[in-house]
Structure 1
Amino acid sequence: MPSNNRRTFLAASTAVGLGSLTGVHALRTQGTSTTFTAADSDGEDSLDTWLAAANDPQTHQIRDFRYDDPPTVYLGISNTNSFSPPAIKVTPETTVTWEWISEDVEYNVVAIDGTFDSGQPLSEAGETFEYTFDAKGTYRYVSEPYADAGMRGVVVVDTAPSSEYPTVDEWLAGTNGYDGTITDQLDTSLVEITTGAKGNSGHSAFEPHAVKVSAGTTIRWSWTGKGGAHNIVFKDGDFDSESTHAESGVHFEETFSETGVFRYACQPHHALGHRGAIIVE
């Protein structure tokens, strides 16, 4: 989204993860006081709760920008008191930009532990605020005037997963805790992969999500019957099971005779992270 005015406010302090929050940080508001405690910064469940209460015109999902250009988060898009996207993941030393959209409503950007602060609320479209995240951590923030009404966001800072297969790393980044680990099933004639496994905040995962096999191996996908209807659609290769199935059981298998990297996904739940990869050697 283009800017009309690129005057930029620069934050200069060093980033510190919210895991170090030990007290209570009260935020400036217009006539009220919004208070967040240490409990707001601890654990995955707490992060899920934080995002569930966030205004979001799309979905409550952390968007992974670790392989993309530095992201811009928009304030007040589509006349909503929200950040868009409200939750992002970046690598250390990434500069995140927040840009004001609304001319009518005043917003600011304030970390709940005081790590970064854009200052008093503004209502000028095109204004921007930037902050460079040097350290890994989870950084929750709000717009003070609408913090109680759900205008909250989060930046998760973490290194990108790394294996010897960069295309797999980028494909699976942000999915079900992928950390670069690839399950070795070389010299195994039949490998079974579960679809609808627990993961990605539901039953929207493959288990294992990355597997290495020998040429000639048959891969069999077994549905759990959970998480709705799933299918298997390949990004690489011409062998799909486009029909969705909600019931448990084996609904697709394929023998991989050629070497290469084969990425695939459950099409209905691709955006949730229901993706997998097969490396054939």
Structure 2
Amino acid sequence: MIATLHSPVPGLIKIVDHALTRVGRKGALAVIDVQGDPNPDVFDPGQESSSQAEGPAEFDGWFDNVDNYDGVADRTDEDEITVQVGSQANGGGFGFSPAAVAVSPGTTVTWEWTGEGGSHDVQADDGSFASEMVGDAGHTFKRAFDDTGTTKYYCMPHKTMGMKGAIVVK
């Protein structure tokens, strides 16, 4: 198939296979980053679009294409926390919830699969950890965070869709 696309405004255009199981299970998608000058006569996103909300400097644009990032959830007073894998975000079950969370040193983070959005994994952006690829609801993956700093992570087949998260240890 050959197609021609003209976009009158800059931004990210997500293209998916209409057989959504291939998108969810195999990552059959593409993202086109249209560059150019804004065209407010066609579309004016205002000050900040929620799908383009950028986080603090420590995230370095990590959450630019994540539509469920709404700040860092403060869970520093808890010894264990749970992050949902496959929460509703980015056009389906393609999010982590909360997307970013602050914890104290020594906190154990448990990622728990919802069963939505197909198979997912949890991989540290720096390669320090990775779970297996799973689609079953109730599956869990745990990791203790002892050192202060920020750990960015993602789901490999859905990273370009915005399935990304962060743990901030402070």
Q: If the length of structure 1 is used for normalisation, what is the TM-score?
A: 0.46
Provide the C-alpha distance between the structure 1 equivalents of 2:42 and 2:59, rounded to a whole number of angstroms: 25
Instruction: Note if 1:161 corresponds to 2:84.
Output: no
Provide the C-alpha distance between the structure 2 equivalents of 1:276 and 1:85, rounded to a whole number of angstroms: 31
Provide the C-alpha distance between the structure 2 equivalents of 1:86 and 1:162, rounded to a whole number of angstroms: 20
Matches within 5 A, 1:180-191: 181-191=71-81
Which structure 2 segments of 5+ residues have no match?
A: 13-34
Instruction: Tell me if structure 2 keeps the 8 A contact 1:138–1:157.
Output: no
Measured after TM superposition, the shift of residue 225 of structure 1 is 0.8
- Aligned pair partner of 1:250 in 139, 148, 156: 139
Specify the code of the residue in structure 2 equivalent to 1:269: H
Larger of the two Rg values belongs to structure: 1
Instruction: Tell me if structure 2 keeps the 8 A contact 1:197–1:204.
Output: yes
Instruction: Note if 1:88 corresponds to 2:11.
Output: yes
* Paired position in structure 2 for 1:207: 97
Measured after TM superposition, the shift of residue 250 of structure 1 is 3.2
Specify the code of the residue in structure 1 equivalent to 2:100: A
Identity, in percent, stands at 31
Q: If the length of structure 2 is used for normalisation, what is the TM-score?
A: 0.74
Which structure 1 segments of 5+ residues have no match?
A: 1-56, 58-78, 90-95, 98-130, 140-154
Measured after TM superposition, the shift of residue 80 of structure 1 is 2.6
Measured after TM superposition, the shift of residue 132 of structure 1 is 4.2
Provide the C-alpha distance between the structure 1 equivalents of 2:8 and 2:161, rounded to a whole number of angstroms: 15
Instruction: Note if 1:198 corresponds to 2:121.
Output: no
Measured after TM superposition, the shift of residue 238 of structure 1 is 1.0
- Aligned pair partner of 2:110 in 220, 223, 226: 220
Specify the code of the residue in structure 1 equivalent to 2:57: P
Provide the C-alpha distance between the structure 2 equivalents of 1:195 and 1:173, rounded to a whole number of angstroms: 19
Instruction: Note if 1:176 corresponds to 2:99.
Output: no
User: Would you say how many aligned residue pairs link Structure 1 and Structure 2?
Assistant: 145
Provide the C-alpha distance between the structure 1 equivalents of 2:136 and 2:76, rounded to a whole number of angstroms: 30
Higher relative contact order (CA 8 A, sep 6+): 2
